[in-house]
C-alpha cells in the first residue's frame, strides 16, 4: 500500500487530469492507512445498500449521511442493490472502519456505530465542502478511488465544555457535538457545576435551580471588585440533559457529567449553606478565580447531598465515568489572608481525628482523599468509575480512580506510574481558553496564556512516560473554560481549528502526524466550517503554520508553560 506521503502527488495529478477536487485527502484526522489510485466515482443519486445486520443507531448514522448527500446534490439516493454499500464486518474493532472506492462503487465496512459514524465522516470530508451546507450546491460530486483502513490511536478522545461560567443552550451544545463528530471525538466532558452557577436540574434540591443557577452579575474583565450587575444564569432540565445524551450517543459520543467537589461549590453553598464549614451566608460567585469556601468534609449531610445528586445524574448519564472534579480546593485567591476553612473547622477537625489523620500540611489532602474515596465507593457500588482532576492524586488515592492531568503532564505521568489510568489534558497544550496568537490586541479578551495551533499539534501524550506505563494513558482531551467567552461565535473561535489539531493528537499514530500536511488540510476544513456556519480562527494558522509563531527562547518557553499571566 502506498502511504499518504505519496498521496499529494497522486491527488495533484488526479486533480489535473480528472478534475477531482484537490481537497480529496484533506481529511482530518488523517486516516491510518490511505492508498489512492487514479479515477473517481460519481455519487449523486447512487443507490445505498445497508447490511440488514446493522443496528438501528448505525443505520440512523448512515441515513444522516444519505440525507446530507441528497440535500447537497439535489438527487435522491434510492435504497437498492447498492452502489454505496455499508457492510457489517464483525472482525473489526468498534471504532475501526474500512472504505473502498472504485469504479464498482463504494464499500464501507465496520462492526459498530462508531465505525460507521467515522466512515461517513471520512466520506463527507472527501466530498466537496458543500455537503456540510444542508442545501443544494453545484459541485463535482465525486469520490476519488481510494482504499482506507482506519482506527484511532486512543480510546478516549475528549472535549470539555464549561457551562457554569457561561451557560450554553441545548442547541449550542448540540452544535458543539456536531463539530466534535466531524473530527471523530468521542467524549464530551460536561462541566455542569462551579462557583458561578449550578446547571443541572436536581429534583431533590429545588434551590439548586432557584438559587444556585443564578448570579447577581459578572465581574468586568479582571477588575475583581467590579460587577456588571446583570443577573445571569440558567440550567438544564433533566429532559434537556437526556436529549443531549441521546444526541451525543447517536454520534458515538459519551457525555461525562462533572460535579466539581469538594471545591468549586459556592453556587451550591449559596442555596444550602449548611453544607459549608462556616454555615454561610454564601452568594453565587460573580468573579472568577478560586474560592476559599468548599463543602465541609466533617458533615455527613454533605455526603447525603452528593449521593442524592449523583443518584439523579446516574439516571440521566449512562457513562462509565462520572467526573467528581477535585481541583483547587485550597488556597483560594480571593481572600488571601483568610485560612482555608478545613484548617479551622471543628467538624473537619473531628473528622480528621476520627480518621487518624495527623496534623500538618498534608492533612487537607488526606481529608480530600476521604471525600473522594467516599464518593468513589458510592459510585462504584452503582457500577460507575470516578475520574477527577490531578489534585485527587495528592495523599492516598483509592484504587480504580482515573486521573485527569491538567497542571501540566506531571499528574498523568505520576498517576500512570502509580498504576492509575489517566487522561491527559495538560494546560500547556490543551487549554483552549488561552490566546491562540501572540497579537493579543487583535484577539478577543481572554483569561491569558498562549496556545498556538502548532503547539496543540505538537503534543505527544507518551512523552516522559515509562513504556510500561503507556497503557494507563486512556487518551487526550482539551478543555474550554468560559469565563471570558460569552457568545457561540467566540466559543467556536476558541475551539477551531485547535480542535482539529487535537483530533490528530488523539487519533493519529505519532509517526503519521505531519504539521505541514495538516496545515494544508485546513483549507478544506475551513470551507467545511464555512458551509456549516461555524466560526474559527484564521490567524492562528500562520501562512504555512510555521512562519507565524516566532521561535521562543528557553525563558519564554518556561513562562509560556507556567502561565504566569493567567491573571489571578
Q: Is the dihedral of CA 188, 190, 191, 197 positive or negative?
A: positive
What's the rounded Cα separation, in Å, for the pair 194 and 361? Answer: 26
Does an H or E element contain 144, and which? strand 142-150
Residue nearest to ligand ACM according to CB distances in the complex = 327
CB of 165 to ligand ACM, least distance (A): 11
296's contact among Zn ion, ligand ACM, none, with CB below 5 to 8 A by partner kind, is Zn ion
Look at the chain and count its residues: 568
41: left (phi over 0), alpha (psi -120 to 50) or beta: beta
Q: Which is nearer to ligand ACM, 23 or 369 (CB)?
A: 369
Size of the site for ligand ACM (CB under 6 A): 4
Q: Which is nearer to Zn ion, 279 or 318 (CB)?
A: 279
Residue of the chain from 146, 277, 302, 375 that contacts Zn ion (CB under 5 A): 277
- Residue 125's alpha-carbon distances to 93, 121, 519, in angstroms, are 22, 6, 15
**Which among 264, 323, 365, 563 is annotated as catalytic?**
264
> Exposed, middle or buried by CB within 10 Å (0-12, 13-18, 19+), for 229?
exposed
CB of 313 to Zn ion, least distance (A): 24
CB of 294 to ligand ACM, least distance (A): 13
CB of 458 to ligand ACM, least distance (A): 21
What's the rounded Cα separation, in Å, for the pair 417 and 363? Answer: 23
Stretch of residues binding Zn ion (CB under 5 A), selected from 131-139, 206-214, 273-281, 498-506: 273-281
Residue of the chain from 83, 150, 162, 328 that contacts ligand ACM (CB under 6 A): 328
> Does 348 participate in binding Zn ion (rule CB under 5 A)?
yes
348's contact among ligand ACM, Zn ion, none, with CB below 5 to 8 A by partner kind, is Zn ion
What's the rounded Cα separation, in Å, for the pair 308 and 201? Answer: 12
298's contact among ligand ACM, Zn ion, none, with CB below 5 to 8 A by partner kind, is Zn ion
347's contact among Zn ion, ligand ACM, none, with CB below 5 to 8 A by partner kind, is Zn ion
310's contact among ligand ACM, Zn ion, none, with CB below 5 to 8 A by partner kind, is none
Residue of the chain from 406, 420, 457, 459 that contacts ligand ACM (CB under 6 A): 406
> Does 285 participate in binding ligand ACM (rule CB under 6 A)?
no
What's the rounded Cα separation, in Å, for the pair 461 and 132? Answer: 32
With a CB cutoff of 8 Å and minimum separation 6, the contacts of 438 are 450, 549, 550
> Does 483 participate in binding ligand ACM (rule CB under 6 A)?
no
User: Which residues between 381 and 400 bind ligand ACM (CB under 6 A)?
Assistant: 389
Residue whose grid cell is 509560556: 560
CB of 366 to ligand ACM, least distance (A): 21
Q: 58-68 in b/e burial notation, b at 16+ Cβ within 10 A?
A: bbebbebbbeb
Q: If DSSP codes are grouped into helix, strand and coil, which group holds residue 212?
A: helix
| 523 in catalytic set | no
- The pair phi, psi for residue 403, each rounded to 5°, is -110, 135
Strands 84-88 and 385-389: unpaired
| 38 in catalytic set | no
CB of 18 to ligand ACM, least distance (A): 50
483's contact among Zn ion, ligand ACM, none, with CB below 5 to 8 A by partner kind, is none
Q: 330-350 in b/e burial notation, b at 16+ Cβ within 10 A?
A: bebebeeeeebbbeebebbbe
CB of 474 to ligand ACM, least distance (A): 17
CB contact at 8 A, 161 and 173:
yes
CA 270 from chain center: how many Å? 29
CB of 152 to ligand ACM, least distance (A): 25
CB contact at 8 A, 388 and 404:
yes
202's contact among Zn ion, ligand ACM, none, with CB below 5 to 8 A by partner kind, is none
What's the rounded Cα separation, in Å, for the pair 288 and 226? Answer: 11
453's contact among ligand ACM, Zn ion, none, with CB below 5 to 8 A by partner kind, is none
Residue of the chain from 51, 243, 312, 327 that contacts ligand ACM (CB under 6 A): 327
What's the rounded Cα separation, in Å, for the pair 220 and 486? Answer: 12
406's contact among ligand ACM, Zn ion, none, with CB below 5 to 8 A by partner kind, is ligand ACM
Stretch of residues binding Zn ion (CB under 5 A), selected from 261-269, 338-346, 508-516, 544-552: 338-346
What's the rounded Cα separation, in Å, for the pair 401 and 415? Answer: 10
> Does 296 participate in binding Zn ion (rule CB under 5 A)?
yes
56-73 and 113-126 helices, crossing angle to 10°: 10
From the list 333, 339, 338, 387, the residue with the least C-alpha distance to 361 is 339
CB of 566 to ligand ACM, least distance (A): 10
| 95 in catalytic set | no
CB contact at 8 A, 84 and 49:
yes
Residue of the chain from 2, 347, 385, 407 that contacts Zn ion (CB under 5 A): 347
**Which among 194, 293, 421, 450 is annotated as catalytic?**
194
**Which among 83, 95, 150, 328 is annotated as catalytic?**
328
> Does 345 participate in binding Zn ion (rule CB under 5 A)?
yes
From the list 415, 260, 396, the residue with the least C-alpha distance to 327 is 260
Residue of the chain from 82, 158, 262, 298 that contacts Zn ion (CB under 5 A): 298
- Give the binding site for Zn ion (CB under 5 A): 277, 296, 298, 345, 347-348
For the annotated catalytic residues, the residue numbers are 194, 264, 328
| Residues in contact with ligand ACM by the rule CB under 6 A | 327-328, 389, 406
Amino acid at each position: 500500500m502506498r502511504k499518504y506521503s505519496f498521496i499529494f502527488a497522486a491527488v495533484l495529478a488526479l486533480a489535473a487530469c480528472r478534475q477531482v477536487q484537490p481537497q480529496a485527502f484533506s481529511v482530518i484526522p488523517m486516516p491510518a492507512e490511505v492508498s489512492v489510485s487514479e479515477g473517481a466515482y460519481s455519487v449523486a443519486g447512487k443507490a445505498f445498500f445497508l447490511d440488514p445486520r446493522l443496528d438501528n443507531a448505525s443505520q440512523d448514522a448512515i441515513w444522516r449521511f444519505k440525507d446530507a448527500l441528497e440535500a447537497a446534490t439535489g438527487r435522491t439516493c434510492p435504497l437498492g442493490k447498492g452502489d454505496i454499500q455499508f457492510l457489517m464486518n464483525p472482525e473489526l474493532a468498534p471504532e475501526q472502519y474500512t472504505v473502498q472506492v472504485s469504479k464498482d462503487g463504494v464499500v464501507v465496512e465496520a462492526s459498530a456505530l462508531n465505525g460507521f459514524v467515522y466512515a461517513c465522516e471520512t466520506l463527507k470530508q472527501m466530498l466537496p465542502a458543500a455537503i456540510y451546507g444542508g442545501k443544494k450546491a453545484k459541485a463535482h460530486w465525486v469520490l476519488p478511488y481510494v482504499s482506507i483502513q482506519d482506527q484511532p490511536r486512543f480510546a478516549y478522545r475528549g472535549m470539555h465544555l464549561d457551562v457554569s461560567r457561561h451557560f450554553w443552550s441545548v442547541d449550542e451544545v448540540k452544535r458543539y457535538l456536531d463539530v466534535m463528530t466531524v473530527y471523530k471525538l468521542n467524549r464530551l466532558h460536561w462541566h455542569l457545576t462551579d462557583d458561578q452557577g449550578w446547571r443541572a436540574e436536581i429534583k431533590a434540591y429545588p434551590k439548586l435551580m432557584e438559587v444556585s443557577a443564578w448570579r447577581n452579575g459578572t465581574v468586568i474583565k479582571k477588575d475583581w471588585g467590579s460587577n456588571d450587575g446583570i443577573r445571569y444564569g440558567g440550567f438544564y432540565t433533566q429532559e434537556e440533559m437526556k436529549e443531549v445524551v441521546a444526541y451525543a450517543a447517536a454520534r458515538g459520543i459519551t457525555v461525562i457529567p462533572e460535579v466539581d467537589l469538594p471545591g468549586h461549590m459556592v453556587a451550591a453553598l449559596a442555596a444550602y449553606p449548611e453544607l459549608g464549614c462556616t454555615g454561610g451566608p454564601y452568594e453565587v460567585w460573580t468573579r472568577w478565580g478560586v474560592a476559599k469556601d468548599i463543602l465541609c468534609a466533617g458533615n455527613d449531610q454533605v455526603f447525603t447531598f452528593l449521593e442524592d445528586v449523583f443518584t439523579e445524574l446516574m439516571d440521566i448519564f449512562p457513562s462509565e465515568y462520572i467526573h467528581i472534579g477535585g481541583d483547587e480546593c485550597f488556597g483560594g485567591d480571593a481572600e488571601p489572608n483568610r485560612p482555608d476553612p478545613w484548617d479551622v473547622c471543628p467538624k473537619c477537625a473531628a473528622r480528621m481525628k476520627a480518621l487518624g489523620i495527623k496534623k500538618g500540611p498534608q492533612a487537607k489532602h488526606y481529608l480530600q482523599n476521604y471525600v473522594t474515596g467516599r464518593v468513589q465507593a458510592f459510585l462504584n457500588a452503582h457500577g460507575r468509575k470516578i475520574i477527577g482532576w490531578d489534585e485527587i492524586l495528592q495523599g492516598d488515592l483509592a484504587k480504580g480512580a482515573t486521573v485527569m492531568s491538567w497542571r501540566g503532564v506531571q499528574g498523568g505521568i505520576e498517576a500512570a506510574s502509580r498504576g492509575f489510568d489517566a487522561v491527559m489534558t495538560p494546560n500547556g497544550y490543551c487549554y483552549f481558553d488561552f490566546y491562540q496568537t501572540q497579537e493579543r490586541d487583535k484577539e478577543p479578551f481572554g483569561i491569558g496564556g498562549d496556545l498556538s495551533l502548532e503547539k496543540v499539534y505538537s503534543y505527544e501524550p507518551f512523552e516522559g512516560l515509562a513504556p510500561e506505563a503507556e497503557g494507563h494513558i486512556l487518551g487526550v482531551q482539551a478543555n474550554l473554560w468560559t469565563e471570558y467567552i460569552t457568545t457561540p461565535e467566540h466559543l467556536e473561535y476558541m475551539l477551531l481549528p485547535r480542535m482539529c489539531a487535537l483530533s490528530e493528537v488523539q487519533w493519529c499514530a505519532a509517526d503519521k502526524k505531519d504539521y505541514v500536511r495538516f496545515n494544508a488540510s485546513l483549507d478544506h476544513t475551513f470551507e467545511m466550517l464555512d458551509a456549516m456556519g461555524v466560526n474559527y480562527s484564521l490567524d492562528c494558522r500562520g501562512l504555512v503554520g510555521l512562519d507565524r509563531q516566532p521561535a521562543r527562547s528557553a525563558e519564554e518557553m518556561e513562562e509560556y508553560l507556567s502561565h504566569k499571566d493567567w491573571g489571578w
